[in-house]
């Protein structure tokens, strides 16, 4: 059985969306992840509504007739949030309290991502021809398709899940995505060195803190013409620290000075906020830049994040 590695990358990176592709498997830690060029999205055979997220790889759904079911996502395994994790199950993660604690945080982040992307949404379910429809615990084994994206694969390519070894049809593609995420130390792949902390400044005057904002997901290459599909260009940030962060007054800008400022926003521990390039109604988990054109150049750019006092806390070129 082949096992993956989880970790956490605390460097904030925001990726491209104007032309071409942003990021490649050979890029460094924190590299943006583009929209699934390597995996074909299966055709959905059942439409359901997601009624609950058990954890990052298990959801509860309701069928159109009102009955319910539990779905275990095919091909992925996220760390546990309701029971203890065994670091030995994750290649390279030390079998220590720090390793187990890092995995617990990784599992919480994966669950948070699933809640934001799937909870309350109508999604499609597709089934793998190489697997039974139900697993050992009588859970439905399925691919989850949302907004023409294969969520199972997204968990792997963004580093929120390792590949769960089985005979599923897309295993080779999933393993390639896992290898790229691990090589880049993308998303949650820092648990191989859970003691490493990249210290960042917070918005209370620039003091240093082990709390940090991490990239949870980047969707850089919008479907079709990027300039005509601005809300398909977005970045999701998560707070990997234990304390709530006040992001009011924090800014995100590119190399030529296009700048967005967060207002009236606090980010709880393991909370998520998605910044869309286009327009919409701001909420606690979704913010809209309000631009009339794409921001992030696909052939390279620099992301600069400053705190409320104007100090640069992240600067990353890609």
List active site positions. Answer: 72, 80, 139
Residues 6+ apart with CB under 8 A from 238: 109, 112, 113, 213, 214, 215, 216, 267, 270, 271, 272
- The whole-angstrom separation of Cα 304 and Cα 301 is 10
DSSP state, residue 120: T
DSSP state, residue 167: -
* Side-chain-side CA neighbours of residue 255 (13 Å): 13
Contact 33, 234 (CB under 8 A): no
* Side-chain-side CA neighbours of residue 144 (13 Å): 30
- The whole-angstrom separation of Cα 253 and Cα 12 is 12
Contact 151, 48 (CB under 8 A): no
DSSP state, residue 102: H
- The whole-angstrom separation of Cα 266 and Cα 281 is 17
Exposed e or buried b per residue across 235-260, where buried means at least 16 C-beta atoms within 10 angstroms of its C-beta:
bbbbbbbeeebbbebbbbbbeeeeeb
Exposed e or buried b per residue across 274-299, where buried means at least 16 C-beta atoms within 10 angstroms of its C-beta:
bbbbbeeeeeeebbbbebeebbbbbe
């Amino acid at each position: 059985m082949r096992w993956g590695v989880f970790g956490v990358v605390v460097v904030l990176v925001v990726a491209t969306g104007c032309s071409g592709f942003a990021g490649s498997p050979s890029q460094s830690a924190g590299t943006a992840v583009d929209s699934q060029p390597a995996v074909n999205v299966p055709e959905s055979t059942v439409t359901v509504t997601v009624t609950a997220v058990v954890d990052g790889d298990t959801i509860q759904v309701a069928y159109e007739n009102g009955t319910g079911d539990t779905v275990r996502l095919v091909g992925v395994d996220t760390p546990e949030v309701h029971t203890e994790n065994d670091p030995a199950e994750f290649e390279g993660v030390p079998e220590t309290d720090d390793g187990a604690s890092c995995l617990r945080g990784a599992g919480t982040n994966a669950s948070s991502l699933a809640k934001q992307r799937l909870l309350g949404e109508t999604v499609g379910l597709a089934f793998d021809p190489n697997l039974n429809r139900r697993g050992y615990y009588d859970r439905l084994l399925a691919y989850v398709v949302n907004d023409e994206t294969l969520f199972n694969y997204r968990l792997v390519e963004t580093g929120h899940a390792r590949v769960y070894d089985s005979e599923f049809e897309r295993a080779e593609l999933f393993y390639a995505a896992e290898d790229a995420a691990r090589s880049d130390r993308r998303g949650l792949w820092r648990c191989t060195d859970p003691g490493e902390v990249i210290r960042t400044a917070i918005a209370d005057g620039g003091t240093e803190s082990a709390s940090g904002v991490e990239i949870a997901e980047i969707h850089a290459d919008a479907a079709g013409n990027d300039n005509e599909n601005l809300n398909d260009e977005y970045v999701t940030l998560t707070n990997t620290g234990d304390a709530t962060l006040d992001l009011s007054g924090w800014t995100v800008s590119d190399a030529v000075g296009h700048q967005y400022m967060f207002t009236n926003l606090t980010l709880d521990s393991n909370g998520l906020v998605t910044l869309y390039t286009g327009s919409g109604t701001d909420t606690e988990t979704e913010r809209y830049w309000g631009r009339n054109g794409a921001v992030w150049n696909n052939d390279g750019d620099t992301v600069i994040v400053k705190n409320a006092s104007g100090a640069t806390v992240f600067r990353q070129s890609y």
